[in-house]
Amino acid sequence: MHVIGTVGLPGSGKGEAATVAREEGIPVVTMGDVVRQETADRGLDPAKDHGTVAQALREENGPAAIAERSLPMIEDRLERHEAVLVDGIRSDVEVDAFEERFEEAFTLVSIEAPFDVRRERIDTRGRDAGEADGGEGLAARDERERGFGMDDAMDRADVVVENTDTLEAFHERIRSIIREGAMNDADDEPTEVRRP
């Protein structure tokens, strides 16, 4: 059993990491989907109100609320698969929840990229409403997510991937991490930087 969690600011590449996991046959639990579903259940627009609902869930049910809602989905997939990727961890409290549940079987991967690179990616993907469309700008999103404890979560990462190269190179780095984690017995050192 192995659970790989990804953490990173908006536009860093977490969704692309999830794509690679799926290509490798590893199921993905996207924490943002928990929030998007709750947003829809509340009759709100997921493109505009995602951040508000994420904050509300944490205020109403505690800072680990979204991680706790994700645990049953992760455990369900682990019944049929050796590994699961958890997309979009946003706080050190969420890291605590996963480490407590999965212990040494949990690996946290921080995906990082500069602000301008991330802004360009978000504009290109067109999934979220920007400031001009009544949504939240990237600087405000960064501030909100940092308020959840994202910086602390990123500091606790076992593996750091700087996502500033080509998409193909990023996919290869993620594929290597996933294969190492899924096999859990690789003899070679990973090519990524590991924080102490």
pLDDT digits (tens, 9 = 90+) for 5-32: 999 999 999 999 999 999 999 999 998 8
User: How confident is the model at residue 192, as a pLDDT?
Assistant: 45
Q: How confident is the model at residue 147 (pLDDT cuts 50, 70, 90)?
A: confident
pLDDT digits (tens, 9 = 90+) for 77-115: 999 999 999 998 999 999 999 999 999 999 999 999 999
User: How confident is the model at residue 50, as a pLDDT?
Assistant: 81
Amino acid at 191: T
Of 43-52, 118-127, 140-149, 151-160, the range with the highest mean pLDDT is: 151-160
Q: How confident is the model at residue 37 (pLDDT cuts 50, 70, 90)?
A: confident
User: How confident is the model at residue 193, as a pLDDT?
Assistant: 44
CA-nearest of 164, 133, 169, 170 to 48 is: 133
Average pLDDT, the chain: 87
pLDDT for 190 beyond 80: no
pLDDT for 63 beyond 60: yes
**Packing angle of the helix pair 65-78, 92-102 (nearest 10 deg):** 30
CA-nearest of 96, 90, 108 to 147 is: 90
pLDDT digits (tens, 9 = 90+) for 111-125: 999 999 999 988 887
pLDDT digits (tens, 9 = 90+) for 149-165: 999 999 999 999 999 99
Q: How confident is the model at residue 49 (pLDDT cuts 50, 70, 90)?
A: confident
> Between the CA of residue 143 and those of 6, 45, 137, 147, 148, what are the distances in Å?
19, 21, 10, 6, 9
User: How confident is the model at residue 186, as a pLDDT?
Assistant: 35
